[in-house]
Amino acid sequence: MERAELGHLIDVLQREGREVVGPIFRNQAIDIGPITTEADLPIGCVDEQERATYRLTRNGSARVFGFSEPAASFKPYIFPQRQRIAAFRREGRGFVDEHHEEPIPRLALFGVRACDLAAIAILDRILLEGPYVDESYRRRRESCFIVAVNCAQPGGTCFCASTQTGPNCTFGYDLVLTELHAKGNHRFLIEAGSPDGLEILEHLELSEPTDDDIDFARRQREHAADSMGREMNVHGLTELLNDNTQHSRWDDVASRCFNCTNCTLVCPTCFCATIEDTTSFDGKQAERWKRWDSCFTLDHSYVHGGAVRVSSRARYRQWLTHKFGTWKEQFGMLGCVGCGRCITWCPAGIDVVEEIEAIRGSDEKVREEVDHG
Amino acid sequence: MVSDLGPYLAEHPILEGMRPEHIQLMVGCAENVRFHPEEYLFREGEKSDRFYFLRHGKVSLELYHPKGGGAMVVQTLGEGDVIGWSWLFPPHYRNLDGRATELVRAIALDGACLRGKCEADHELGYEIMKRFAHLMEKELQAMQLRLLDMYAPTH
Amino acid sequence: MHQLTEPAVDVAPSPDVMLPHRFRIDKYRKDTADTFTVDLVPVNPDQPFMYQPGQFNMIYIFGVGEAPISISGDPATAPKLVHTTRVVGTVTTAMRGLGVGHELGIRGPFGRPWPTDHARGHDVVLVAGGIGLAPLRPVLYHVLANRSDYGKLVLLYGTRTPADILYQRELQQWRSRLDMEVFVTVDRATPGWRGNVDVVTTLIPKAPFDPLNTVAMICGPEIMMRFAAIGLLKRGVPANHLYVSLERNMKCAVGFCGHCQLSREFVCRDGPVFPYDRVRDLMMTREL
C-alpha cells in the first residue's frame, strides 16, 4: 500500500461508521485520541523515554509511526475510567431499574502496538473468558475494529521482547501495518487478520509487496526486537516473588514510592475498579458508577476496621507481585506486556525491571535446584 | 482403694505416656474425690497444697467482686483438665475460688507429698514439670487469645 | 495443584452480573446489640435462586451501596433468603434502618461453598467465632436435613460475652437433639452465665469426634481460625480436611474489581471458603 493510501484507510473506517482513535499529539506527548484525518497523526514525532523521562521532538521526518509506545494505552476506550453501570428510581419502599444502556461507540483502534494488543488480550482473558463476563466490556470490545502496527521503534523503557508480547503483532488485529520508510521509498505493508479486515482491504488501492518490501519488513522486525531499551529475565517470576514477600527490597522501594498510582493508571493491563453509588438531591434517583481504582490506595484493601495493606511496602509488593507473579497463577499469563509506561511515568523513577532484578539478585529463598545440587 | 487410681491417672491426657513407675509414685499421693454442685474445691486466700485431675463435671474459677454481690468467672474447666497451680510454688496460697457447677469427680493430689517425691526423684520431677509447663503454656495462649478481644466491634 | 472446594451451583447467569435482583424484607429480627437478621423474598416470585451453604450475596441498599454478606438460612427454603449481619459500615447501618416491606437488591449467590460433599461420610465439626456462626448455619441445616449421610455433628461456638450469642433459641433446640453436640463458650462471663468461659479453641480437645474421620469447617476472625486449625491438627484431623472462610474487601464479587485479592486468590471467586492448607501461609503473611 502506498503511503498516500493511509488517509484513505482512515476515511474508509469512518465511512463504515467508525470513530477512529489512535496516536495524536497532545500535552507535549503522544496520547490516544480521535483521528478524523491522517493529519491528526503525530507524523515526524520522535520520543525519548527513560525512567521518569519523556521528551518529544519533531525531526521533520515523514515517518508516521516513528515514535515508540504512546503515553496512554487504548485501555480507556474499552475499559472507561468512569462509567455508569446502573440507574435506579425509588418507588415506594422499593426501587426500579431504569434499564439505562450506555451507547457504545463503534470504534476503530488505530495504530495499536503489539504490547497494547497483548494487553487487550489479557483484559479479554480476565473480563470475557472467566466464569463471568463483564457485559459492558464485552459490548465495547466487540464493537472494536483494530488496526495494529508493527513496532519499528522500541523506546528506552520497552522490554516487550522479554515478555514475548512484541514488537511484532501476531494476533488480535483486523489489520496490521508495517511502515516501510527508507531511501525515498515510503509504503505500508498491510495484512488482514480477520474477515472484517479483509473486507476493509477491498476498499483500498493495493499492490502486491515486492520481495524487497518483505525483506525490509523482516529486517526491520529483527532490528526492533534487538533494540529494546530494557531486558527482563521473566523466568520463574511467580516463585521468585511469592518466596520473597519479606525481602528487604520492599522496604527500599517503599521509601521511594509516592503511592501516586501513576503506574497503575498508565498500565494497559491494570483492571482494578471500584463502584461508587450516588443519589440525586431529592433521594429519588440512584446511580452506580464503576471507575478505575488502584492497589496503591488505602481504600483498596479496606475491610471494616481498617485496610489490610497499610504500609507502602505492602502496597508496592502487591502491585509488583501481582503483575509479575500471581497474575500467572490467576490467568495463566504474565500481567506485564513490557510496554515500559510504568517506568517512564513513575515520578520517583522506579523501574520495575530493576526492582525484579534486585530481588532476583538477592533471592532470600534457596532454590530447590541448589538444594539438590 | 489407692492402688485403683493408677489406671485413672494413666489415662488422663496430661499424663499420657508417663512411665508406669512414675504413675505409681503419683498414686501414692492421690485420692479419689467428689464435689457436689455449688461445693467449693477451694477458696481464694486458702493455703492449699492440693491439685486436681478432673475426671467428670465442671469447675468454675472465680473471683469475688463486691459489686452486684457476685463473682467474676475467670475460666471454666472440665473433664480432662487439671486445676490448681498453687501446690507448685510457695507459699501455696489459692488465688481463686474453685466452685463445682455440677457433680465433680476428680483425683486429688497432695502437693506436699508429690513435691517430696519430685525432690527425691528428679526424673519424676522433670516429667511432671514438663507436663505442667506445657499445660501453663496452653492456658497462657488461651488467655492471650481472650485478651485480644477478637470479636470486639471494629468501629 | 491445590484442591479447590466444590464448584458453585450452576445458576442461570443474570444477563448482567452487576445488576441486582429486587428482594423484599419479609421478617426482621434484632439478634444482639450489633447484629440483626432479615428474611428476604424475591419481588419477582419466578426469580430462580439457589445457593449452597457458605455462599454469599452482594446486598444493595438503594443509593447507599453494596456489601458482601453471607447467606445464613436454610438452602432448602430458597429462593427465600436469610441474612444475619453485623452493623459495621454504611450499607449495614442503612440496612438496619429498613423494615418489613422494604426492598433491597441482591446479586448472587457468589463464591465457593462449604465442603458438604467432601464431608459426606465424615464427622462434621463446625468451629464458629462471633458472627462466624451465621455463614456456618446453612451447613447445620444441610447436615440435619441429610443426617444419615454424615457421622457425628459437632458445633463449637465461641463469642465475646453471653449477650453476643446468636440464634439462642435455635441453639437450645440443637442442644436438645440427640444427633448433634453443641458446645458454647464465651471469652468473658457476665453475671448469670452458667456456661463455659474460655476461648473457643479450648473446646477442641474435649469435643466428641473421630479426628481421622472428620471434616472441620471454621469461621470467625482470622486469628481464631488459625488457632482453631492448630487445635484440630493437634487432635489429629488431617490438614486437608480443614476449611476456613475468609473475608476481604469486595466490590464486584466476580473477580473483576481486584479488591479481594489475597496473593493468587480472589477471595470472592476462589473462596470465601478455602481448604486450610491452600491459604495457611497466606493467612500468616502480614499485609498480603
Q: Residue C59 and residue A303: Cα distance in Å, rounded? A: 16
Instruction: Judge whether residue A218 has pLDDT over 70.
Output: yes
Of B95, C249, C9, C259, residue with least CA distance to A273: C259
Is residue B136 situated within a structural domain? yes
The nearest alpha carbon in chain B to A306 belongs to B154
Give residue A373's pLDDT band: very low, low, confident or very high (50, 70, 90). very low
Do C279 and C136 fall within a single domain? yes
For residue C223, the domain's CATH number is: 3.40.50.80
For residue C49, the domain's CATH number is: 2.40.30.10
Three-state DSSP class for residue C47: coil
Sheet strands (E) in A150-305: 175-182, 185-192, 273-279, 285-292, 302-303
Do C163 and C243 fall within a single domain? yes
Q: How far is CA C138 from CA B50, C51, C86, C87, in A?
A: 47, 10, 17, 21
Alpha helix (H) residue ranges in chain C: 90-96, 133-145, 168-176, 222-235, 267-270, 276-283
Is residue B94 situated within a structural domain? yes
Chain B residues in contact with C185 (beta carbon < 8 A): 76
User: What pLDDT is attached to residue C121?
Assistant: 98
Last residue of a domain, one of C52, C77, C110: C110
A–C interface: beta-carbon pairs under 8 A = 116
Is residue B141 situated within a structural domain? yes
Q: Is C130 on the interface with B (CB under 8 A)?
A: yes
Of C151, C157, C162, residue with least CA distance to C202: C157
Helix, strand, coil shares, percent, chain B, to 5: 40, 30, 35
A–B interface: beta-carbon pairs under 8 A = 5
CA of A308, closest CA in chain B: separation in Å?
A: 14
Residue A222 CB contacts under 8 Å (≥ 6 apart), including other chains: none
**AA identity, residue C68:** P
- How many domains does one find in chain B? 1
Last residue of a domain, one of C77, C110, C143: C110
Do C131 and C267 fall within a single domain? yes
CA of C275, closest CA in chain A: separation in Å?
A: 17
Q: How far is CA B100 from CA C30, C158, C191, C264, in A?
A: 35, 22, 17, 51
User: What pLDDT is attached to residue C15?
Assistant: 66
**AA identity, residue A256:** R
The percentage of residues in chain A with a pLDDT greater than 70, rounded to a whole number, is: 98
Chain C residues in contact with B153 (beta carbon < 8 A): 34, 86, 88
User: What pLDDT is attached to residue C122?
Assistant: 98
| Terminal alpha carbon distance of chain C | 21
Do C155 and C275 fall within a single domain? yes
Of C67, C49, C61, residue with least CA distance to C109: C49
CA of B70, closest CA in chain C: separation in Å?
A: 7
H or E element, residue A119: helix A114-127
Residue A113 CB contacts under 8 Å (≥ 6 apart), including other chains: A69, A148, A149, A151, A166, A167, A169, A339
Chain B residues in contact with A306 (beta carbon < 8 A): 154
For residue B31, the domain's CATH number is: 2.60.120.10
- How many domains does one find in chain C? 2
User: What pLDDT is attached to residue A170?
Assistant: 95
Do C253 and C215 fall within a single domain? yes
Is residue B154 situated within a structural domain? no
Do C174 and C276 fall within a single domain? yes
Is residue B153 situated within a structural domain? no
Q: B134: domain range?
A: 2-147
Mean pLDDT by 10 residues, chain C (288 residues): 43 68 96 97 89 98 96 95 96 96 96 98 98 98 98 98 97 96 96 94 96 98 97 97 97 96 97 97 95
Which of B148, B149, B154 is best to mutate for the A interface (most A CBs within 10 A)? Answer: B154
Chain A residues in contact with C4 (beta carbon < 8 A): none
Do C100 and C131 fall within a single domain? no
Is residue B155 situated within a structural domain? no
The percentage of residues in chain B with a pLDDT greater than 70, rounded to a whole number, is: 95
Residue A6 CB contacts under 8 Å (≥ 6 apart), including other chains: A38, A64, A188
Q: Residue B77 and residue C55: Cα distance in Å, rounded? A: 36
pLDDT per position as a tens digit, B23-44: 999 999 999 999 999 999 999 9
Write down the mean pLDDT value for chain A. 94
- Could you tell me the pTM of the whole model? 0.93
**AA identity, residue A108:** A
Do C68 and C157 fall within a single domain? no
Cα four-point dihedral sign A244, A270, A68, A260: negative
Of C111, C87, C95, residue with least CA distance to C38: C95
The nearest alpha carbon in chain B to A304 belongs to B154
- Check CB contact under 8 Å for C129 and B79: no
Q: Tell me the sheet residues that pair with C21.
A: C106
The nearest alpha carbon in chain B to C195 belongs to B76
Surface-to-core class of residue C169, CB atoms within 10 Å of its CB (0-12 exposed, 13-18 middle, 19+ buried): exposed
pLDDT per position as a tens digit, B69-109: 678 999 999 999 999 988 998 999 999 999 999 999 999 99
Q: Is B3 on the interface with A (CB under 8 A)?
A: no
The nearest alpha carbon in chain A to B153 belongs to A305
Instruction: Judge whether residue A99 has pLDDT over 90.
Output: no
Q: Residue A104 and residue A142: Cα distance in Å, rounded? A: 10
Q: How many helices (H) and strands (E) does chain C have?
A: 6, 15
Instruction: Judge whether residue A78 has pLDDT over 70.
Output: yes
C-alpha cell at A3: 503511503
- Check CB contact under 8 Å for B150 and C34: no
**AA identity, residue C271:** G
Residue B147 CB contacts under 8 Å (≥ 6 apart), including other chains: none
The percentage of residues in chain B with a pLDDT greater than 90, rounded to a whole number, is: 83
User: What pLDDT is attached to residue A369?
Assistant: 53
Q: Is A305 on the interface with B (CB under 8 A)?
A: yes
- Check CB contact under 8 Å for B74 and C193: no
Q: Is C227 on the interface with B (CB under 8 A)?
A: yes
CA of B121, closest CA in chain C: separation in Å?
A: 31
User: What pLDDT is attached to residue C8?
Assistant: 44
Nearest-CB residue to B151 (from C89, C160, C201): C160
Do C147 and C242 fall within a single domain? yes
Count of Cβ atoms closer than 10 Å to residue A281 Cβ: 6
Q: Residue A16 and residue A345: Cα distance in Å, rounded? A: 36
Do C142 and C257 fall within a single domain? yes
- Check CB contact under 8 Å for A274 and C257: yes
Sheet strands (E) in chain A: 19-26, 29-34, 45-50, 53-58, 82-91, 94-97, 107-112, 145-149, 175-182, 185-192, 273-279, 285-292, 302-303, 306-307
Q: C222: domain range?
A: 123-283
Q: Is B155 on the interface with A (CB under 8 A)?
A: yes
DSSP string, C198-220: S-GGGGGGGS---GGGEEEEEES
Strands A145-149 and A107-112: parallel
User: What pLDDT is attached to residue C40?
Assistant: 97
Do C272 and C204 fall within a single domain? yes
pLDDT per position as a tens digit, A243-268: 999 999 999 999 999 999 999 999 99
Do C132 and C274 fall within a single domain? yes
Q: Is A304 on the interface with B (CB under 8 A)?
A: yes
User: Phi and psi at residue A128, in whole multiples of 5°?
Assistant: -120, -30
The percentage of residues in chain A with a pLDDT greater than 90, rounded to a whole number, is: 90
Last residue of a domain, one of C110, C138, C157: C110
Q: How far is CA A158 from CA A22, A26, A53, A229, C83, in A?
A: 19, 21, 13, 5, 51
